[in-house]
Amino acid sequence: MRLIFITLFASFSYAENFYKLGIGSCVDYDYPIPAWDSLEQESLNSFFFLGDNIYGDVPSGKLDSIKISYENMNERMPEWLQETEKLVIWDDHDYGLNDAGENYLYKAESQKIYNNAWKINQNDPRRTREGIYFSELKIINEKKVLFVGLDTRYFRSNLIKIGDTYKPHKNLNTTVLGPIQWDWLKKQVNKEHDILVLASSIQVLATDHRFEKWANFPHERDTLLDLLYNLDSNILIISGDRHRAGFYRKDNIYEFTSSSLNKGIFPYYETDALLIGDTYTQNNYGIIEFHGDSLQLFIKDENMNVLESLEIPLK
Ligand SMILES: [Fe+2]
């Protein structure tokens, strides 16, 4: 009898220590979002929106339809998600203009709309500084987990496009984050932590595709990877944007791309030198489970079926 009690207690306390983060990107509230029903059943502790959290951009860059799209989002977001803790970065379609960067005319106004739509605290730095980057330290299973959300839009230099392909910059003065955000990031990652979850709307590790990616600014990507290599923590990058999900790895740096929640695309083939396994273009979301000795990652389709999983042992 006593033995049974101990076993039950042990499994209960294990479940209690189990932290579950949902991730996803590219969600259009003008269409059904079956993934929300699946994610409700996942019983998440929190959800990380990785950008293109609405589709409200128009070619003029004006913000009227962004405002309407956010109103639509807040009306149609299911109650369980309204009540779940949310971490949020933006990408181009919620920033206000397709593939836009530092020269986007309405970026300051767009940030105000973002702050209000996501109910960012009045004393949060995002209310007073340029850019929606943020960090948050959580204690999970007695480990310090540092969540960092990057703004890859507000300060990003213009892209070079030849035909339908973005080309890498050779000019070392071009930037993804801009000098102020870089200084801030260096300070954040030097805070004591065991696990770093670094959110970037665009992919960091992938190099082989023709779309937006850190590799279009190779010197900036190198700086970021050098910064991460110098840490002795466990490092997981999370990203969106691609309407394609996959796991990537470069040495001790992992990347989990989750996209899109309800704008899946034709399943054309894509691979990458740093890809682990396959990529998936159907509607999907990501699950990251924080266990005592590992992270368990799952790419799931909108009906909760596991498409691929990955275990990252913790140092
Ligand atoms: Fe998107």
Q: pLDDT for 206-259, tens place per residue?
A: 999 999 999 999 999 999 999 999 999 999 999 999 999 999 999 999 999 999
Q: What is the mean pLDDT of residues 106-116?
A: 98
What's the CA gap between 78 and 247, in Å, rounded? 28
C-alpha 55 – ligand 1 centre gap (Å):
8
- Ligand 1 center to 260 CA (angstroms): 7
d(CA 203, CA 242): 8
The Cα-based distances of 183 to 72, 84, 209 in angstroms read 36, 31, 29
CB 56 within 8 A of CB 93: yes
CA of 48 to the centre of ligand 1 (A): 15
Task: Report CA(67)–ligand 1 centroid distance (Å).
Answer: 18
| Cα(74) to centroid(ligand 1), Å | 19
Is the Cβ–Cβ distance between 315 and 295 less than 8 Å?
no
The mean pLDDT of 23-28, rounded to a whole number, is 98
| DSSP-derived secondary structure for 176-243 | SSHHHHHHHHHHHHTS--SEEEEEESS-SS--SSSSS-GGGSHHHHHHHHHHHHT--SEEEEEE--SS
Cα of 24 to ligand 1 centre, how many Å?
Answer: 10
Domains of the chain: 17-313 (3.60.21.70)
How far does residue 243's CA lie from ligand 1's centre (Å)? 6
Ligand 1 centre to CA of 92 (Å) is 8
Residues in Cβ contact with 21 at an 8 Å cutoff, skipping those fewer than 6 apart: 44, 45, 46, 47, 48, 197, 287, 288, 289, 290
Answer yes or no: are the C-beta atoms of 216 and 167 closer than 8 Å: yes
> Model confidence over 45-99: pLDDT tens digits?
999 999 999 999 999 999 999 999 999 999 999 999 999 999 999 999 999 999 9
Confidence band, pLDDT 50/70/90 cuts, at residue 17: low
Could you tell me the distance, in angstroms and rounded to a whole number, from the CA of residue 291 to the centre of ligand 1?
Answer: 30
Query: How far is the centre of ligand 1, averaged over its atoms, from the C-alpha of 43 (Å)?
Result: 25
Given pLDDT bands bounded at 50, 70 and 90, which one contains residue 18?
Answer: confident
Strand 195-200 relative to strand 294-301, pairing: unpaired
> Residue 15: its pLDDT value, please?
45
Indicate if the pLDDT at residue 20 is higher than 50: yes
Q: 93 CA to middle of ligand 1, Å?
A: 7
Q: Ligand 1 centroid vs 54 CA: distance in angstroms? A: 9
Q: Kindly give the distance from the C-alpha atom of residue 146 to the centroid of ligand 1, in angstroms, as a whole number.
A: 26
**Ligand 1 centroid vs 264 CA: distance in angstroms?**
10
Q: How far apart are the CA of 153 and the centre of ligand 1, in A?
A: 14
Q: How far is the CA of 242 from the centre of ligand 1 (A)?
A: 6
270 strand-pairing partners: none
CA of 56 to the centre of ligand 1 (A): 11
How many whole angstroms from 9 Cα to the centroid of ligand 1?
44
User: pLDDT tens, 251-306?
Assistant: 999 999 999 999 999 999 999 999 999 999 999 999 999 999 999 999 999 999 99
pLDDT in the model for residue 3: 44
